Amino acid sequence: MNRLLQDRFDRWHVLVLLLTTLGAAALLLTAGGGGDAAARSELNRQLEQDVAYRARIDFLQDLYRPVLDLEKSGARQQALLKLEEIGRRYPGEGYGFIIKGRILLQLDAVEEAVANYVEGVRLNGDFADRQGAFSAWNEIDQLVSKQLPSFSERARTHPDNASLKRVLNNLHYLQSRLAGGCE
């Protein structure tokens, strides 16, 4: 310690160190809601992020409500056409792919349903989460559990069929995403 305070140079620097450290601590402790608007917004990035996410959930649910209503009433083809209309304005939205996958599955278009689920999950991993506003984990799990054995068998008996291989790869992708892990 003595070595650090051996002359005026040392004492001056220790003084600056103490003053700046204490000053910074005091500012942090007393600042409260102070500071300019830009700084406040930076400090609230978590809030901004969470608000944007909630807004996205609400927006997408509103946007796709007519499709979901049609699907619920059994008007599946009409729901698919409505999806086309929405797709003209918002192409490449993952939620649309998930809904389309579900409707196509109901219409027995299994290969295309799988491809749509894959597209949706690739665009947004939220759909493969077990929980959350957009979780489609259960329906994807049911799809994989039901279709994987049959497509594995078909691919085994038709080893040169590239289309079956493609569906099988898609099912394995979904299976892997359902299993979790880091992305």
Binding site for another protein (CB under 8 A): 42-47, 49-50, 53, 75-78, 80-82, 84-85, 87-88, 100, 104, 107-109, 111-112, 115, 122, 125-126, 129, 132, 158, 160-164, 172-173, 175-183
Element at 166 (helix H, strand E):
helix 162-178
Which C-beta is closer to another protein: that of 19 or that of 81? 81
Residue closer to another protein (CB basis): 26 or 107: 107
- Closest to another protein by CB, 64 vs 100, is 100
Nearest partner of 167 among 127, 158, 181, judged by Cα: 158
User: Is 111 or 139 the residue whose CB approaches another protein more closely?
Assistant: 111
**Nearer residue to another protein within complex by CB, 32 or 181:** 181
Cα atoms in the 13 Å half-sphere on the side-chain side of 59 = 9
Rounded to 5°, angle at Cα 101 from 50 and 180: 55
Q: How many helices (H) and strands (E) does the chain have?
A: 8, 0
**Least gap, CB of 43 to another protein (angstroms):** 5
CB of 53 to another protein, least distance (A): 7
Residue partners of 136: CB distance under 8 A and separation at least 6:
98, 102, 117, 120, 127, 128
Q: Is the dihedral of CA 83, 114, 141, 49 positive or negative?
A: negative
Q: Which is nearer to another protein, 138 or 161 (CB)?
A: 161
Measured from the CB of residue 75, what is the shortest distance to another protein in angstroms?
7
Query: What is the C-alpha radius of gyration for the chain, rounded to an integer number of angstroms?
Result: 28
Output the smallest distance, CB 11 to another protein, in A.
Answer: 18
Quote the least distance from Cβ 129 to another protein, whole Å: 6
Q: How far is the CB of 155 from another protein (least distance, A)?
A: 11
Q: What angle do CA 12, 14, 18 make, to 5 degrees?
A: 120
